[in-house]
Amino acid sequence: MNNYLPRSRDLLEALVLILVALAAGLSLNYQLVFKSFAGLNPVVVAQPTVTASDDSVGFPEPVDFEDLERLLNRGYLLIDARAHQAYRNLHLSGALSLPLGEVDTQLADFKTKVPLNTPLILYCNGFGCPDSFDLGMRLLAEGYTRVLVYEGGFPEWRDRGGMLKSGDAP
């Protein structure tokens, strides 16, 4: 029985340590926890402020599915950053194709069709796909002033029943 008491005491000490760590973590991250349980995207990327003397161009801002319709009604243009073949197969209705892999060859033509003051929403293959963000950084550096990234991308749009189209650009 002597062997059993130290084990239960060790387990009790481990449990107390876990509870203290949990309490400390929750107290430091309570806003993140509440946003997660409320169904909001808890990940927020700090956006740098750009001043007239600042050479940086900032970052594309994230947008979620719930905001897309409102933004599209306000004149935002959808840009598909996926490969052209994926765009041809299926894309969000109304989107233009500007694949990240072909941006060097297609950017000049894109800029003649889409003025720099056009607000843009870029998307690719969902949350794990960095192409829309990388393309957004490039477009901001080229002078586009309002660039958003739809992080859920094509998969979320499709899964939520958004309108899709096949074929080349409208």
**Cα separation, 44 vs 97, whole angstroms:** 27
| Model pLDDT for residues 111-148, shown as the tens digit of each residue | 999 999 999 999 999 988 999 999 999 999 999 999 99
Cα-trace Rg, the chain: 23
Please, which pLDDT band fits residue 31 given cuts at 50, 70 and 90? low
- pLDDT reading at 79 higher than 70: yes
- pLDDT reading at 48 higher than 50: no
Note the pLDDT of residue 116: 96
How many alpha carbons fall within 13 Å on the CB side of residue 15? 6
What is the CA angle 45-47-50, rounded to 5? 165
- pLDDT reading at 14 higher than 60: yes
Note the pLDDT of residue 47: 41
Note the pLDDT of residue 17: 86
φ, ψ (nearest 5 deg) of residue 21: -65, -40
| Model pLDDT for residues 147-158, shown as the tens digit of each residue | 999 999 999 999
